[in-house]
Amino acid sequence: GDRYLPQVKILPVVDLVITHGGNNSVTETFAQGKPMIIMPLFADQHDNAQRLSEKNLAIKLPPYDFTDEQMIESIDRLLYDKELNQRLLRASKRILQTDKHEIVCDMIEKILENC
């Protein structure tokens, strides 16, 4: 079998995502309104995990130093936090309703204005 799993096809059918917290994973997970456990390894992942954890939008766990109890507690907390799940669904709706082409065009125009 393939070693690659199509994340965008899997996300709609899962209840929770355990991820390294890279920009693509975080964006795609938010777009689906799913809670996350982030276990950062390097680069942008640490910053994403820290910011989302501080905003109570995800739980950050150390990738190589966590207990079974910490993982189970994190999963339970994320799955049963109704307020968090409502916030994530609202964020998902906003992301999916946004006209991405319009945003990109606006960004390009702003960049060109400042050249």
Question: What pLDDT is stored for residue 77 in this prediction?
Answer: 97
| Cβ atoms of 60 and 50 closer than 8 Å | yes
What digits encode the pLDDT tens for the residues 58-77?
Answer: 999 999 999 999 999 999 99
| Cβ atoms of 59 and 79 closer than 8 Å | no
Question: What pLDDT is stored for residue 18 in this prediction?
Answer: 97
Q: Is 38 helix (H, G, I), strand (E, B) or coil?
A: strand
Question: What pLDDT is stored for residue 95 in this prediction?
Answer: 79
What digits encode the pLDDT tens for the residues 26-62?
Answer: 989 988 999 999 999 999 999 999 999 999 999 999 9
pTM: 0.81
Q: Which CATH architecture has domain 7-113?
A: 3-Layer(aba) Sandwich (3.40)
Mean pLDDT (the chain, rounded): 89
